[in-house]
Amino acid sequence: MYSKFTNLIDLNDMPVNWWNEVLELGLKIAGNPQAYSDECRGKIMATLFYEPSTRTQMSFQAAMLRLGGTIIGFDNPETSSVAKGECLKDTAKVVSSYADILVMRHNYEGSAKAAALTADCPIINAGDGGHLHPTQTLTDMLTLLKVKGRTGNLTIGLCGDLKNGRTVHSLCKALSCFKNNKFILISTKELSLPGYVKDIITANGCRYEEVINLEDAIGGLDMIYMTRIQKERFESEDVYLRQKNIFCLDKDKLNKAKDDLCILHPLPRVDEIAYDVDGDPRAMYFKQAEYGVYVRMALIIHMLKNQKPTKLLLGLDNNGIKCENPRCITKLEKYLPGSFRMNGGIPECEYCDERLK
């Protein structure tokens, strides 16, 4: 199945030169945002947020407003017709007829792809459950370019909830496309990176190591990506409490780190970075949040200017088999056609990437 538009559902759907065009424009905008204040005059962006958000939603809105455009949308589905039982397909269809570009965050995995099947304007995935978060990755890469001047040749530590953290999945998939990156995955066994993401790192020619101790790993890193334990993705409070408070980046641990370590965090922070780290010159997470506006300005300009039909689903329904992931959008929106791609002989859901067992 095809979309009439170029959507941003997964960065890895696009070639690396597409990312580079957005990042280069983002760097230019960061140098002089004022110069772009008329770029989107007359255009409307809709933000549909089915899940809580501060940075992603507001940075998208700020980006569009700084480009001279306007915004519509909701940040609480309970105040929209979703509360009356409207399905995703109908909401996407209608809102996309009001706007030129649609930004959507949803708690189910594969939701942006599902919305793109019916939308009449390009869609940007602003986070789909515990799956992907491509615009956070653009933000992270712009920050790396600003701070380290490169996105390759780095030893990259990722720490915390690597299982449920969508920012981590998108970032690993993207950074493994650059030469000589090595990944140090720091988590408990229970919250380790999903197998499919590890396979992508390897397939892209990068190495990874899985470790459980932040203090032992920190000395070798060029960048550390701290993440919060994703409370809302756990099946019970008990399971969450067992994983909470295990990793905390504090001043003592930082004493063992390189002088040019780049400390990133998609935010919000809960307790995984001590407040006294904020004043350290290596702490880049607030700058990172600011750069998110510039890269989103670049993305909006780029997507409004460069549109062509794209492929969404291969459409192999594999004899009626169903995705087994309870968080897959096909579980919520039953009208969606099942669609799988074959990977090493195993069907993989094209919405959420879950492999059939």
CB of 1 to ligand NCD, least distance (A): 27
Residue with Cβ nearer ligand NCD (43 or 166): 166
**Residue 284 near ligand NCD by CB under 6 A:** no
Tell me the backbone φ, ψ of residue 236, rounded to 5 degrees. Answer: -150, 160
- 185 neighbors 211 (Cβ within 8 angstroms): yes
- Single out the catalytic residue among 43, 47, 55, 331: 55
**Residue 133 near ligand NCD by CB under 6 A:** yes
β-strand 223-226 against 155-159: which pairing, if any? parallel
- Single out the catalytic residue among 79, 84, 189, 308: 84
d(CA 296, CA 136): 9
**Residue 159 near ligand NCD by CB under 6 A:** no
Site for ligand NCD in 100-129 (CB under 6 A): 127
70 is catalytic: no
d(CA 119, CA 96): 6
56 is catalytic: yes
Tokens 């989107």, residue located: 40
CA-CA-CA-CA torsion sign (251, 257, 259, 262) = negative
The secondary structure of the chain in percent helix, strand, coil, rounded to multiples of 5, reads: 40, 20, 45
Tokens 């794209």, residue located: 310
Helix 285-305 / helix 55-66 crossing angle, nearest 10 deg: 50
CB of 130 to ligand NCD, least distance (A): 9
Residue with Cβ nearer ligand NCD (117 or 298): 298
The verdict on whether omega for the bond into residue 268 sits within 30 degrees of 0, i.e. cis, is yes
Contact track, ligand NCD, 176-215, x by CB under 6 A: ----------------------------------------
Residue with Cβ nearer ligand NCD (133 or 173): 133
CB of 288 to ligand NCD, least distance (A): 9
Which residue of 131, 166, 253, 331 would you call a contact of ligand NCD, by CB under 6 A? 166
**Residue 228 near ligand NCD by CB under 6 A:** yes
| Count of C-beta atoms within a 10 Å radius of residue 77 | 17
**Residue 167 near ligand NCD by CB under 6 A:** yes
Residue with Cβ nearer ligand NCD (57 or 330): 57
Residue with Cβ nearer ligand NCD (61 or 227): 227
302 is catalytic: no
CB of 291 to ligand NCD, least distance (A): 12
**Residue 157 near ligand NCD by CB under 6 A:** no
Q: Binders of ligand NCD: how many residues, by CB under 6 A?
A: 11
d(CA 90, CA 95): 8
- Single out the catalytic residue among 43, 66, 105, 166: 105
Contact track, ligand NCD, 257-276, x by CB under 6 A: ---------xx---------
Nearest to 146 by CA among 30, 226, 224, 59: 30
Buried b (16+ CB within 10 A) or exposed e, 308-337: eebebbeeeeeeeeebebebbbbbbbeebe
CB of 230 to ligand NCD, least distance (A): 6
d(CA 253, CA 274): 11
55 is catalytic: yes
- Single out the catalytic residue among 106, 133, 182, 198: 133
341 is catalytic: no
- 195 neighbors 172 (Cβ within 8 angstroms): no
User: Which residues of this protein are in contact with ligand NCD, per CB under 6 A?
Assistant: 55-56, 127, 133, 136, 166-167, 227-228, 266-267
Active site residues: 55-56, 84, 105, 133
